[in-house]
Each structure stands twice: as C-alpha cells, then as structure tokens.
Amino acid sequence: MLASPEVPVPVPSRSRPLVLAVAAALALTGCGVETSIDDGALRTGAREIVDDLQSAIDRARERAQEQNADESGDLGEDPPAQTQAIRTDTNTAFEYEQYQATLEGVIASLDAFWAEELPAAFGAAYTRPSRFVYYRPEHEPGPRCGEEEAPAQNAFYCPAGDFIAWDETGLMIPYYVSSGDFAAAFVLAHEYGHAMQVRLPQQEQLGVLRELQADCFAGAWARDVQEQGFLEAGDLDEATLAVFSGRDVPGTPFTDPRAHGTGFERTRAFADGYEGGAATCYPAPAEEWVVGVQQ
C-alpha cells in the first residue's frame, strides 16, 4: 500500500526544470530552502501552479465521469497487442481513454517483466494477480480486503484475493494529471511489487522494509522499461517525485506498522532496484535502507 500521499509534487510540464517543482513543493510545505528568488514571489508562483493543477485535476475527474460512468471496474483483462511508449501530455490534454490505455500498457509490461524476472532471479513460480480494480469511493466503496475497507486516496494489494486496487478519482487521476503518466505507473509498479513479495519464500517482518522492497522492485521494472526504449525524458523524474511525495510524516518511527520510509529511504530503495535489478531488493538490506536499523 502507498503511504497516504500529500498533494502530488507538481510537475507543471516536462519543459520546466525539475528544481522548480521541488521548490514549489518545499515552499508550500514550509520546508527551508536556500534560494535567490523572493520568498513571497516563490510562494505566490507555487500557489498559482498548484491552483492550475487542481483545476486540471478537477476537469480530468469530470471527463472521467463523462466518459466512463462506472463507479468501479477492472483493467488488464485485454492487454494491448503491442507495448508502446509511456508518454502522454497529462497536464493539458487529459483523455480518459488514453489514461486507461496507459494503465493497461503498464499492467501488461509489469506482467511480462515479472513472468521472466521472478523465476530467473529467485527461482520462484510466477502467477499473475487475479484482478486490477479501480474504484471511486465518493460514489460507492471499493473492494474489501478481508475485513478491511478499501481506503480513499490510496492503492493497495490484497493478498487474500490476490488483487490490486486503487482509488481512481482520489489518487490515480490526480497523480496522472499533476505528476505525469509515469508517476501513475509507479503506483501500479509498487503494488505489483507487493504481489511479488507473497510469491517469494521469505517475507520481511518489518512493515517499512516491505514497503521499501516494493519501491525497489518498482525501480527494477523501471530500468527494464527504460532499456526497452519505452520511456521519454522526464519519466524517471516523475517516478522519483511520486516516490518522494509518498514519504512518511517526519518523525514517524521505522517501527510504526504503517511506516513507508522517509523521502531519502524511499528514493534510495527505488534507485537501488533501478541500478542493481530485482535481486538487489531481496532480502531487503535493512541496514542500508532504514536509518536507525541495526542488526
């Protein structure tokens, strides 16, 4: 499961420097940052960016409702015949069909990657998760996982039903519109990582290590997609910002069962998977990933 996200770190367009998005986020969250830009001007500019993004998200939600009135549904049942580049102008030209096609393509890519990687890296048998479910909790509850209700503004993997589900209007569309298509892809890759964990013989007992391992698995998949030429400039920045925006509230102890890791820890785990592959992620290197963990 993703940590309850903040408003996704804004990425106004791929033509703007990454530092602008980070500076805007820091200005809004009150984090200190050395800058030559007047503080008031920075905050005003950041607020304008966020307001523009919120308007874009609201328009995207309305278009999603217009183009698909279903309050929940399944994806991944009819994967695209050919994998295409993960690229869309998500900020200014949201099209619900393109959005769904992007997620379908990501699911197909994750399926193909893990069907090969799980046996090759770990000698484990691969099976595809049973369902990929979107829901809109403002209309009706999402799928239950045992006794647990589907959370709003989140995504999760359910071991009991072996399915992945996400809040479409509260999480996925906002990520897709404000942070980019590959930020939304990271959400699916992270939850797919949780699905792969239960197919391995050893599971991490510490909750934060399970979350960081899922980030690491997502990084391994991202490298595979990049090597196949399916990414464009800015996509990895989108994923990195998605990882960072899902960080824990500062001061959260790593022993908290809901902990997902600091921004540094999550970004490092994702990068380790990207650089070293899935084998780097298992078993989770606790002392390298989590500040304060000692064997």
Task: Kindly list the distances between the CA atom of residue 277 and the CA atoms of 99, 177, 181, 218, in Å, as whole numbers in the listed order.
Answer: 28, 29, 22, 10
User: Average per-residue pLDDT in the chain?
Assistant: 80
Max intra-chain CA distance, the chain = 56
Residue 85 or residue 255, greater confidence: 255
| 82 has pLDDT over 60 | no
25-33: which pairs have CB atoms within 8 A and are 24 or more residues apart? 25/245
Query: Measured on CA atoms in the order 205, 206, 208, 209, is the torsion positive or negative?
Result: negative
Stretch 110-137: mean pLDDT: 97
178 — pLDDT class (breaks 50, 70, 90): confident
| 227 has pLDDT over 80 | yes
Confidence (pLDDT) at 11: 32
53-67, 80-94, 100-114, 155-169: least confidently modelled range: 80-94
Distance CA 36, CA 33 (A): 10
What pTM did the predictor assign? 0.76
| 12 has pLDDT over 80 | no
28-42, 54-68, 278-292: least confidently modelled range: 28-42
Stretch 189-195: mean pLDDT: 97
Q: What percent of the chain has pLDDT over 70?
A: 74
Stretch 72-77: mean pLDDT: 76
Stretch 257-262: mean pLDDT: 86
8-22, 70-84, 156-170, 186-200: least confidently modelled range: 8-22
Stretch 187-196: mean pLDDT: 97
Confidence (pLDDT) at 212: 96
Question: Where do runs of H (alpha helix) occur along 68-206?
Answer: 96-122, 173-179, 181-197
Read off the DSSP letter of residue 157: E
Confidence (pLDDT) at 287: 92
162 — pLDDT class (breaks 50, 70, 90): very high
126 — pLDDT class (breaks 50, 70, 90): very high
| 208 has pLDDT over 70 | yes
Do the bridges between strand 131-135 and strand 72-75 make them parallel or antiparallel, or are there none, so unpaired? antiparallel
| 94 has pLDDT over 60 | yes
| 5 has pLDDT over 60 | no
Compute φ and ψ for 280, nearest 5 degrees.
-65, -25
